[in-house]
Amino acid sequence: MVIDGLGWGGAEMLLAEFAVGARAEGVDVVVGALEDKDGSPAAERLRAVGVPVMILGVERLLRPSSVPRVRRWLRDVAPDVVHTHLGYSDLLGGLAARSLGLPAVCTLHVLQWHHGRFRDDLKERLFALGRRRCHHRVVAVSDAAREVYLATGRDAPDRVVTVRNGVVDRREPGTGAAVRAELGIDPDAVVVTVVAVLRAGKGHDVALAAVAELRRRRPEVVLLIVGDGPERDRLEREVGPGCVVAGHRDDVPAVLDASDVVLHPTAFDAFPTSLLEAAAAGVPVVATGVGGVPEIVDDGVDGLLVPPPPAVPDVVAALDTLLDDPGLRGKFGVAARRAYEERFTARHWASRLRTVYEDAR
């Protein structure tokens, strides 16, 4: 696998999840990152599950030496298939693979392809050209992401396939009490948790406003915000009573064990990992029915969807429905766990991708 970097992003952190499932399917993974990002925390996750990692040291991503550097690494590794992630890797990794006669596939991790800025849109067109010329298949993480990408006219429908991600089962029943104690959350509180990178579009302002409204009638409700990102300082300044900004946590399964509901009021999302983790933990969800979210959450079966764009009254109403009925929360949690076991394990994901790899060869 070739990826732009191994920072805190969802695509980067998911590689270790895939590697665990892939091993069970007879697929060995080696990862090369074009450059170091944020100290490459995802590299530690990969090494912890036995995956060799190389930081390729591509200093300027579009300089003439970039493709030869990636090419030398691929030649030394001699893989059966090259799988690239994120735009620069799609281009540089695709060109390097093609020059060596290696089959290549790539994964689209996002839902938006027009940035409104000439330079960024030009780069996206260049990346898409690289995918068309160098990759046997383009993998979308959801049907929604596939449809949006095809609508750009940048590839043919028969080349773009949907393979939904999965996660490793890391449930930790009973660990939530310690998380609550550490964060100063009362054992009897009702905890609504948002797990997402702290950036625009993820709906943190909607979550803050919705929980502030709920607390006028339900003072026992606590909003727990987990994640890091460019919006963290602002959010920490704006949170009110009953809100905890916990920052990045490596113990998300324990955080979910401390949670009664997971809230995901996003404006757009291709296929949010946090909802897969919630399903694995058996925690019911309130989320915006946008992008790939409805491909994870079955409205009225294992969670509740609110219409996009997310509005505070809709989120409050959905949360009220779940908070009024602990039995419904339990029922949704059981259904979510069943959906995870049937569709969203890391091994399911790896099995589907292995089929794509075999087809590319």
DSSP three-state, residue 46: helix
Q: What is the mean pLDDT of the chain?
A: 95
Count of beta carbons in the 10 Å neighbourhood of residue 123: 17
Local structure of 246: helix, strand or coil:
strand
Pairing of strands 2-3, 82-85: parallel
| Element spanning 31, H or E | strand 31-33
Per-residue pLDDT, 113: 73
Element (H, E) at 41: helix 41-48
Domain 176-343 has CATH 3.90.1210.10: no
H or E element at residue 118: helix 118-134
Of the candidates 19, 252, 14, the one whose C-alpha atom is nearest the C-alpha of residue 141 is 14
Q: Which two tokens stand for residue 171?
A: 């449930």
What is the model's pLDDT at position 60?
73
Contact 151, 183 (CB under 8 A): no
Mean pLDDT calculated for residue range 94-109: 98
Q: What is the pTM of this model?
A: 0.94
CA-CA distance, 193 to 133, in Å (whole number)? 43
Please tell me the predicted confidence (pLDDT) of residue 65. Answer: 86
Q: Where are the domains of the chain?
A: 2-167+346-360, 176-343
Residue that has been written with the tokens 């989320």 in this structure: 287
Average pLDDT of the residues in 155-161: 97
Q: Tell me what pLDDT residue 116 has.
A: 74
Please write down the long-range contacts of 211-214, taking CB distance under 8 Å and 24 or more positions apart.
211/242, 211/243, 212/240, 212/242, 213/312, 213/316, 214/316, 214/319, 214/320, 214/323
Count CB neighbours of 311 within 10 A.
Answer: 16
Per-residue pLDDT tens over the stretch 165-193? 999 999 999 999 999 999 999 999 999 99
* Helix/strand/coil percentages in the chain, nearest 5: 45, 15, 40
What are 100's two structure tokens? 């060596």
Contact at 8 Å (CB) between 106 and 356? no
- What are the helix (H) ranges across 152-243? 176-183, 204-215, 232-238
Beta strand 31-33 with 53-55 is parallel
Q: For the chain, what percent of residues have pLDDT higher than 70? A: 100
Name, of 45-49, 58-62, 114-118, the range with top average pLDDT. Answer: 45-49
Q: What does the alpha-carbon distance between residue 171 and residue 281 come to, in Å, rounded to a whole number?
A: 5
Q: Do domains 2-167+346-360 and 176-343 have the same CATH topology?
A: yes
Residue 112: what pLDDT?
Answer: 80
Which of 57, 162, 170, 41 has the alpha carbon at shortest distance from 108?
162
Give the fold, CATH level 3, of 2-167+346-360. Rossmann fold (3.40.50)
Closest CA to 318 of 333, 303, 335: 303
